[in-house]
Structure 1
Amino acid sequence: MLTILDKYILKRYLATFSVMILLFIPIGITIDISEKVNKMLENKVPFSAIASYYVDFTIYFANILFPIFLFLSIIWFTSKLANNTEIIAMLSSGISFTRFLRPYIIGATIISIFALLMGLFLVPKASAGFKNFRYMYLIGGGQSEMRENSDVYRQISDNEYIYVSNFNAESKMAFNFSLEKFKGDQLEYKISADRIKWNPKDSTYTMYNYIKRTVGLLEDNLEKVDEKNAKFSFDLEDLTPLVYVAETLSLFDLIKFIDKERERGSANINVYLVVLYKKYSVPVSAFILTIIAVAVSSMKRRGGMGINLAIGILLAFAFIFFDKIFGVLAEESAIPPLIAVWIPNFVFGILAIYLLRNAKR
């Protein structure tokens, strides 16, 4: 049962975290609008698309900056408690530091569950909308966005390969499509089309300016039509850029996708595993960062709240730096993705235990 003290600290914990997000997100939106307003006007982007984009933008970046928001909010209000000697009064009344920490852990549990559910189901959808908008409307000065969504080359079976130059997730259409089928080392046939569009009603593809070249012993057989419908063994996700599709899939779809790519012997399997494991590691970091933040800010310092905030910002960015570095190492090196993703939590977990012991003293 929650006591008055628990409710007091828990209310400050959740309220400060919420206010921190509400303060920083509008700043991020303002900066993003100032950078992209010219492109939006040039491409005559509908207001509904802009509104939808900034909803996705808010969810996408709140998830990315979640550790910083959490860390700074705890340091902020705990430092105020320390400067007002409220913590000293609490501990002097006979409450142990572990008991004082209980409402923080309850708050971390609430936020971690919320972050977990967002990461599993809401963030992938927001990520898809965020990336689709940038690809559709910001290509002019956003060549980097275009490159992220282009040149997809996939092996879909032991002897079949597909290629598209770029993919539009909104219209479910890919461009400069080709499919090559081999028999041993020899090309059996090649299908190419200027565009290929997915038809969800009957699970078929429509190809425009369709050409099929079948390799013969003496001469090749050539088939050309302006438009052709066909069924293929590959899925729509196979036309989507590799990292892009992993970030936009919900938990169960991502697991199915990873299983399928593992069966195909995909060379990018570590990229997908990093995305999967981070869905679980980020919520756990809420507990670790909460303990570190309380341990750092619960002592009354001569420099006041400013010193605590400086230490907090340094540690928060160090955590994100570790998280990014080991994520890249998991994708590009021989380090197992599960270990690489959890190393930042392990390192900062040890730091949390050390700081907590000093704080108790």
Structure 2
Amino acid sequence: MTHTSVTAKRPTADTGVGPAVVAGVVTAVVGFTSSFAVVLAGLRAVGADTDQAASGLLVLCVSMGAGSIFFSWRLKIPMTMAWSTPGAALLAGSAMPADGFAAAVPAFALAGALIALCGLIRPLGRAVAAIPPALANAMLAGVLLTLCVEPFRALSASPAAIAPVVLTWLVLTRVARRWAVPGALGVAVVVMAVTGSFSHLAGARLAPVVVAVSPSWEPATVVAIALPLFLVTMTSQNIPGMAVLASFGYRPRLAPPLLYTGGATVVGAFAGAHAINLAAISAALAAGPTAHPDPERRWVAGVTCGAVYLVLGPASALVAAVAQAAPAGIMAAIAGLALIGTFASAAGSALADGGHREAAAVTFLVAASGVAFGGIGAAFWGLLAGSVYLLVMRRPLWPPR
């Protein structure tokens, strides 16, 4: 496993690894606080109770932390792992399976197996990469739409509790974007303290625990969850994650991290974890020049990020309990605010390609509609509808003479 680093002018003075350590801490803290609400919302939507959601969060943190440490140290590049935020958003927009969370577990495991197979079977990986990005982004944008309107619905229903959260997010987005969602979360904690929500934590389990989930096989649930989860994780996380690393001059082989993230997803599924992958957006925090002037020392940021994730993991039960005790709408508002940037990026990318614009619009509209047929959710049908539209529009009406 080798990589090619950018050619950079060495600093005249040895800056040590301090900047890389700070960058790694920021990467992990921002990554965790800005999207854990989305993960919890996704797991709860498909039937997880508080303990199962906390278990999933713990296993995700451990898997991400271990992967970030190993690959960053082994390859000497800042390769960081993350949970699949788009995948969690997909779950949050899904219907609860008939058999509850037990039916979602095989779907998580199958998605992980498909990710690992992309690392083992190159044609499969190339086939996924060949999916028009416009359709994949449109499916994601359609799913995110229903989540991104939640802050404004909550604001209408509970203005006193939600307005401080939204205003904090707006101000910090203007002056310190990366801290906008963590800042909004901090204000939400203050709101909870003022409203007495923490009194509901009495008797709640606050110690970290791994809860084994016995799987239940529902073919419709597997199709509805596994395939969209696999596709959005690959197209919105793993492939862009490699592109981010390449933009800073790091070009590792894709197969090893796919095998790790896919395998960890399969194992973690039986403890409530939905999916891990290569970091994409947050990857730039550890891989860019702000992490360290010397590209060959930025791997320390990846190792530090992984170590912080391992520290944050044991707080999963406390985080899940606090989210459960929060006033109605406040966690959904934070999750929606955290996804607005992702929605804007996905929608913009989906409609920017003139050759796929109408097919992307069909995909987006069906995915956003929330329709379900045969127990299979809108995300799958949206992608299928867009693909069929694209096939029909590009197929010649008459064969050539």
TM-score interval w.r.t. the shorter chain? under 0.3
Structure scoring higher RCO (CA < 8 A, sep ≥ 6) equals 2
| TM-score (structure 2 length as normaliser) | 0.25
Select the structure of larger CA radius of gyration: 1
Structure holding more helix per residue: 2
| TM-score (structure 1 length as normaliser) | 0.28
